[in-house]
């Protein structure tokens, strides 16, 4: 059956939206990586019973251990306080990250207590005893944050704009915007140019595609605004 022009346009729009979403997730993953987080992108939450479809997916699950630090030429690289100020040096920081290309938001499967997805992801993270999982999950559904003396579990949403309605609903929700991430990237490489090779043709091959491209373009940037424009353009158009 031949598709109509409207169907073709709709399919093409969906393809572009998916591609933008993947680029946004790549940028977010690199941002957390530069801040000392070990991460798993596209973390699938499987149901308790056998069935074909997963329950939901976390765009990114990230963990940062106490006393994480990186030195360059004897200087401590200061990580983004938006992330590090969420806990103390003695706490392991677990992050559930939702990535949006536009307005920051929370996916329904994470806010609907009846679905039980918080319990599943907490069990998989493995920091809590089985009897402690239900009260931790309850705290996450209510506040999107839980902590004890040794751990913090925090829901973070990343996007172009802060969602004021969600912030009123969940005062402990952490929202980080693409302009803020762009500012961090510019400051990081401005203060620590040693992270880039002296040879302009060489960029760390271990970096993701966005990291390699940003490293090359950064050499031509003059301000934070240049960084913001480039990041926005990358997510939008690639």
Does residue 216 belong to any structural domain of this protein?
A: no
71 domain residue, yes or no: yes
Is residue 88 situated within a structural domain?
Answer: yes
Asked whether residue 146 is domain-assigned, the answer is yes
Does residue 26 fall inside a structural domain? yes
* Closest to 62 measured CA to CA, from 37, 90, 85: 37
Q: How many structural domains comprise the chain?
A: 1
Residue span of the structural domain in which 64 resides: 17-177
pLDDT tens for the chain, 238 residues long, are 677 877 777 888 888 989 999 999 999 999 999 999 998 887 676 555 445 555 456 788 999 999 999 988 889 999 999 999 998 889 999 999 999 999 999 987 788 888 888 999 999 899 999 999 999 999 999 999 999 999 999 999 999 999 999 999 999 999 999 999 999 999 999 999 877 755 555 456 678 889 889 988 998 999 999 999 999 999 999 8
At residue 14, the pLDDT reads 87
Using DSSP's 3-state secondary structure scheme, residue 43 falls into strand
Q: Is residue 95 part of a domain?
A: yes
Prediction pTM value: 0.89
Polymer length in residues for the chain: 238
Q: Cβ(86)–Cβ(152) under 8 Å?
A: yes
Residue 10 lies in a domain: no
CA angle 167, 169, 170 (to 5 degrees): 65
């Amino acid at each position: 059956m031949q598709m109509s022009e409207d169907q073709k346009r709709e399919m093409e729009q969906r393809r572009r939206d998916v591609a933008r979403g993947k680029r946004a997730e790549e940028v977010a993953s690199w941002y957390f990586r530069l801040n000392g987080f070990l991460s798993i992108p596209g973390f699938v939450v499987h149901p308790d019973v056998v069935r074909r479809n997963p329950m939901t997916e976390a765009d990114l699950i990230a963990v940062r251990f106490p006393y994480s630090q990186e030195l360059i030429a004897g200087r401590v690289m200061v990580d983004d306080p938006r992330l590090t100020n969420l806990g103390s040096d003695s706490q392991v920081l677990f992050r559930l990250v939702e990535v949006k290309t536009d307005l920051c938001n929370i996916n329904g499967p994470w806010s609907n207590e009846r679905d039980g997805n918080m319990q599943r992801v907490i069990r998989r993270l493995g920091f809590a005893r089985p009897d402690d999982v239900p009260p931790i999950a309850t705290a996450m559904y209510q506040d999107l944050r839980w902590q004890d003396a040794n751990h913090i579990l925090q829901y973070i949403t990343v996007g172009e704009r802060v969602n004021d309605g969600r912030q009123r609903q969940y005062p402990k929700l952490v929202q980080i915007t693409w302009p803020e991430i762009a500012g961090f990237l510019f400051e990081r490489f401005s203060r620590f140019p040693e992270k880039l090779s002296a040879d302009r043709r060489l960029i760390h091959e271990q970096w993701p595609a966005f990291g390699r491209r940003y490293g090359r373009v950064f050499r031509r940037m003059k301000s934070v605004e240049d960084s913001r424009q480039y990041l926005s353009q990358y997510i939008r158009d690639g």
